[in-house]
Amino acid sequence: MGADGVRAGRGAGAKGAGTGGSRAKNGTAKGGTSGPPGKGARGGGDGGGGKPRRPRKRRVLRWSAIVLSVLILGTAGAGYLYYQHLNSNLETDDLNLGDHRAPEPTPNSAGQTPLNILLIGSDARDSKENQKLGGAKETFGGPPLADVQMLLHLSADRSNMSVISMPRDTLLTIPKCTDPDDGKVYPESGPRTMTNESLGRGGPGCTVATWEKLTNIHINHFMMVDFAGVVSMADAIGGVPVCVDKNIHSRTSEGKGSGLKLEKGTTNIKGEQALQWLRTRYGFEGGTDISRAKAQHMYMNSLVRTLRENTGLTSPNRLRKLAENATRALKVDPGIGSPLKLIGLGNELKKVSPERTTMTTMPFEYSGARVVPKPGDAEQLFRLVRDDIALDGKGKRKPAEEKLSDDPAAPDGEIALQVQNGTRTATEPAAGGRASAVAQELAGLGFVKAAPDTSASVTEDRTVIRYPSVDLEGDAQRVAKSLGMPLSSVKKSTDVSGVTLVVGADWREGDKPKKAAKQDDSTPDSADALSGSDKKACMKVDPNFTW
C-alpha cells in the first residue's frame, strides 16, 4: 500500500500528518493515553471500542524505525531527472514555531557538535489509506495528534546514539506557537496538556518547540510520517525479524486489538503486519503502552541491524522503491529537505554501531490516567543528552578546560549584565523573582549595571553565563569569578546580545549558586534502556491472547 494520495492538508490529509495543506514541497516551508494497568483511557490504538480516540502513545518506533531506514541506508538517484523526482516528493515544514529556542550545544575540543532529530508519528486519519489502517472512524477529519515522539541524539564525535521516547499522554505545558500558514497564534497551554496535542497547534514545529521547552535540548531537525507511510516503507524494506515467546493474536472478544497474529519464535514482518506489530497493545504482557513501547524499541533495533547488513536490499529496484516510498512518506524541516541532505544525514548515523545505540523511554510516573515526567530521573536523562554523555555508560566525560580569556575584563561597574530566571525544571515551576534578586546581589558585588531580564523564558539545570562575542569573554569570566563559579560555566552563544547570567535550578535561593557535587552520569533505571545489539529480545505474550 503506497503513500500516494496521502497528500491532503491539515484536517484533510495524512501526508505530513494533516499539517501540509498549503505548504509547498521541496524545501519551501509553508508561506489516548497511557494509564496504569486496567485503565486504558484511550483504546483506539488497537482498533476502536470505548471512547473514540486515537491510538495511544509510543508508536514512536513504529515510525521512527521506518524513518531511520532512509537515514541509515541512504539512497542514490538514477540520474539528475530521477533525483529531481525524489526531491519533489519531499514536503517540508518549519522547524520551530515557538518563541524560544534551547541554546545550541558547545562544540567539543575537535569543533564537533551533536545532532538532535525529533521523529514524529502523526495519527492523522484523513485519507482512505490512513482511515483504513487507523480505524476509529469517528475521528475522521479531526485534528492530527503527535502520538509518536522520539528524540534521536547523535553524539558530537559520532561514536554513539541515544534515543528517548516520550509517552504521548505526558502532561506538560505547550509553548505559544504561531502557524505560518494562516498566522494563527496558539497561546501557551496550561501545565496539564497532553503533549500529542502540540501537532494540532500549527504543525510539527510546535511539537519541536514543546520538546525544547521541556528538555532544554536544542533540536536540529525533525522527520514526520503517518500510517500509510509506515506501511509503504515497511513494504519497501522487505521484512524485519521480530520475536514473541508464545503464539499471539491481538484481538479481544469485543473486537479490539491490532489484529496481529504470529507464531511463537522469530518472524519477518513487513507492510501492514509491521504496522500491526507497532500498534499492538492488547496481546503483549501487561496490555499497556509500556509493553507496546518495548515492542517498538525491539522493532527499531532489528530494523537498524537489518539495514546495516543490507539484508534483502541489494537489488537496485528495491533500493529505488525504498527511495520512492521514503520521500513520499516523509515530511521534514528545510535543513534536511532534499535527498542529498538525507543521504548526508544517513552517512553520519551509519557511523554508529548497534552496540553503541541505546533506546530509552522518558522516566515517568502516573498522574491519574496520564503521566508526568518522573522527578529527578527525567531531568537526569535530559541532562545526559544535553551534556552529550552516552547512555550506554561506555563514554567517559572529559573535564572541561579552564582557559582564561586573552580579552581583559572591563571594570566591574562598567560591565552591562542581563540576568534571566532559568530555575524552572521539568517538575518544578520557576522560583519567583530570582532574576531581580540575583541582579541585586550582583549590584552589591559591584556590578551596578546588572539588570533583570524578565522577558526571557529559559530553563537551566545549572547556572550559566553566556556572551555573544570574544570581546566580551573576559567580562563574562569576571562575573563567574566573582560568584565562585567555574570557567566552564561561561559559554559563547549567539542566543544572547550581551553578557547574560541565567540563574539555574541550582540557585533557587541564597546569594550564590550551589557548588556542583560530582554528578551521576548513569542512565536512570526507570529509562528502561535497551541496547541496539540485543538480538535475544523477545516480547512476552499475555496468556489471554495466545492460540
Predicted local confidence at residue 398, as pLDDT: 57
| Number of domains into which the chain is organized | 2
Report whether 13 contacts 126 (CB < 8 A).
yes
Q: Examine the domain organization and report whether 243 and 305 are in the same domain.
A: yes
Report whether 461 contacts 505 (CB < 8 A).
yes
Select from 337, 356, 391 the last residue of a domain. 391
Q: Examine the domain organization and report whether 195 and 304 are in the same domain.
A: yes
Please measure the distance between the N-terminal and C-terminal CA atoms of the chain and give it in whole angstroms: 29
Task: Tell me how far apart the alpha carbons of residues 336 and 345 are, in angstroms, rounded to a whole number.
Answer: 8
Q: Using the predicted structure, report yes or no on whether residue 343 has a pLDDT greater than 70.
A: yes
Predicted local confidence at residue 346, as pLDDT: 82
pLDDT band at 362 (very low <50, low <70, confident <90, very high): very high
- Comparing 104-118, 272-286, 312-326, 356-370, the range with the smallest average pLDDT is 312-326
Predicted local confidence at residue 310, as pLDDT: 61
Domain that holds residue 156: 43-391
Tell whether 484 is covered by a domain.
yes
pLDDT band at 523 (very low <50, low <70, confident <90, very high): very high
Q: What is the mean pLDDT of residues 195-217?
A: 95
- Is residue 484 exposed (0-12), middle (13-18) or buried (19+ Cβ within 10 Å)? exposed
**Which candidate, 254, 261, 263, places its Cα nearest to that of 283?**
261
Task: Tell me how far apart the alpha carbons of residues 278 and 229 are, in angstroms, rounded to a whole number.
Answer: 13
**Which candidate, 179, 160, 542, places its Cα nearest to that of 388?**
160
Side-chain half-sphere exposure of 544, counting CA atoms within 13 A: 11
Q: What rounded mean pLDDT belongs to the chain?
A: 80
What single-letter DSSP state applies at residue 137? G
Predicted local confidence at residue 459, as pLDDT: 86
Which cell is 256 given?
479490539
Predicted local confidence at residue 426, as pLDDT: 72
Amino acid at site 421 = N
Predicted local confidence at residue 2, as pLDDT: 36
Q: What is the mean pLDDT of residues 328-350?
A: 87
Tell whether 32 is covered by a domain.
no
Q: Examine the domain organization and report whether 80 and 184 are in the same domain.
A: yes
E strands in 45-204: 91-92, 115-121, 148-154, 161-165, 171-172, 177-178, 185-186, 193-194
What share of residues in the chain are helix, strand, coil (percent, to 5)?
A: 30, 15, 50
Tell whether 515 is covered by a domain.
no
Report whether 310 contacts 539 (CB < 8 A).
no
- Comparing 97-111, 130-144, 458-472, 519-533, the range with the smallest average pLDDT is 130-144
Report whether 224 contacts 15 (CB < 8 A).
no
pLDDT digits (tens, 9 = 90+) for 209-263: 999 999 999 999 999 887 667 777 777 777 889 999 999 999 998 888 889 999 9
Identify the CATH number of the domain in which residue 491 sits: 3.30.70
Report whether 261 contacts 250 (CB < 8 A).
yes
Q: Examine the domain organization and report whether 366 and 466 are in the same domain.
A: no
Q: Examine the domain organization and report whether 344 and 424 are in the same domain.
A: no
Predicted local confidence at residue 403, as pLDDT: 75
315: helix, strand or coil:
coil
Tell whether 519 is covered by a domain.
no
Predicted local confidence at residue 4, as pLDDT: 34
Q: Examine the domain organization and report whether 321 and 437 are in the same domain.
A: no
Tell whether 221 is covered by a domain.
yes
Q: Examine the domain organization and report whether 455 and 343 are in the same domain.
A: no
Report whether 499 contacts 405 (CB < 8 A).
no
Select from 391, 421, 454 the last residue of a domain. 391
318: helix, strand or coil:
helix
- Comparing 93-97, 142-146, 157-161, the range with the smallest average pLDDT is 142-146
- Is residue 233 exposed (0-12), middle (13-18) or buried (19+ Cβ within 10 Å)? buried
Q: Examine the domain organization and report whether 148 and 231 are in the same domain.
A: yes
Task: Tell me how far apart the alpha carbons of residues 248 and 546 are, in angstroms, rounded to a whole number.
Answer: 5
pLDDT band at 405 (very low <50, low <70, confident <90, very high): confident
Task: Tell me how far apart the alpha carbons of residues 52 and 136 are, in angstroms, rounded to a whole number.
Answer: 6
pLDDT digits (tens, 9 = 90+) for 32-57: 444 444 433 333 334 444 444 444 44
Tell whether 403 is covered by a domain.
no
Tell whether 365 is covered by a domain.
yes
What single-letter DSSP state applies at residue 539? B
Partners of 466 in beta bridges: 491, 500
Task: Tell me how far apart the alpha carbons of residues 269 and 243 are, in angstroms, rounded to a whole number.
Answer: 10
Residue 506, C-beta contacts closer than 8 angstroms, at least 6 positions apart:
461, 462, 463, 513, 514, 516
Tell whether 132 is covered by a domain.
yes
Q: Examine the domain organization and report whether 319 and 439 are in the same domain.
A: no
Supply the Cα-derived Rg of the chain in whole angstroms.
Answer: 24
Q: What is the mean pLDDT of residues 487-513?
A: 91
Task: Tell me how far apart the alpha carbons of residues 22 and 60 are, in angstroms, rounded to a whole number.
Answer: 26
Identify the CATH number of the domain in which residue 146 sits: 3.40.630.190
**How many helices, marked H, and strands, marked E, lie in the chain?**
12, 23
Q: Examine the domain organization and report whether 221 and 304 are in the same domain.
A: yes
Q: Examine the domain organization and report whether 183 and 84 are in the same domain.
A: yes
Across 62-71, 306-315, 391-400, 415-424, the highest mean pLDDT is recorded for 415-424
Task: Tell me how far apart the alpha carbons of residues 523 and 338 are, in angstroms, rounded to a whole number.
Answer: 35
Q: Examine the domain organization and report whether 336 and 457 are in the same domain.
A: no
The pTM assigned to this predicted structure is 0.71
Select from 391, 422, 453 the last residue of a domain. 391
Predicted local confidence at residue 45, as pLDDT: 39
